[in-house]
A = this chain, B = another copy of it.
Amino acid sequence: MSTALVEPVDDDLWSAIGDPTRRRMLDLLLAADGGTATSLSRQMPVTRQAVAKHLGVLDRVGLVRGDPAGRERRYRVDDAQLARAVAQLASVGSAWDARLRRIKRIAEDIQRARPE
């Protein structure tokens, strides 16, 4: 009955996907199967430098990996790490969901337990 049953949430990983711009970038990278700072910035309302910084963050937590390809640096999503992130989303979500259900159930029990 401890929350230790759920895989502990990696705050770095979570906050990496917590930023809306970075989520958008991950979407774009998944859709196009990779991209560069410049190519991403052209599909988003921020500058290339901002995108580059975000790519740095995503790289640091292992969600993307970028290696040089000619004169550009191509980034791709690391499937395994993104899968971990998805698992954490699901984990936190289901934990809250369980608590909500449990509270609702307790409330119903209380209602039911006093017909006086």
Contact = CB atoms under 8 A, between A and B. Distances in A.
Interface of A: 3, 9, 11, 14-15, 18-20, 23, 26-27, 30-31, 33, 79, 82-83, 85-86, 89-90, 92-93, 95-97, 99-100, 103-104
A79 B100 contact: yes
B96 A79 contact: no
Contact of A14 (B9, B20, B31, B104): B20
Contact of A30 (B9, B30, B99): B99
B96 A26 contact: yes
A29 to B, nearest CB: 10
Contacts of A14: 18, 20
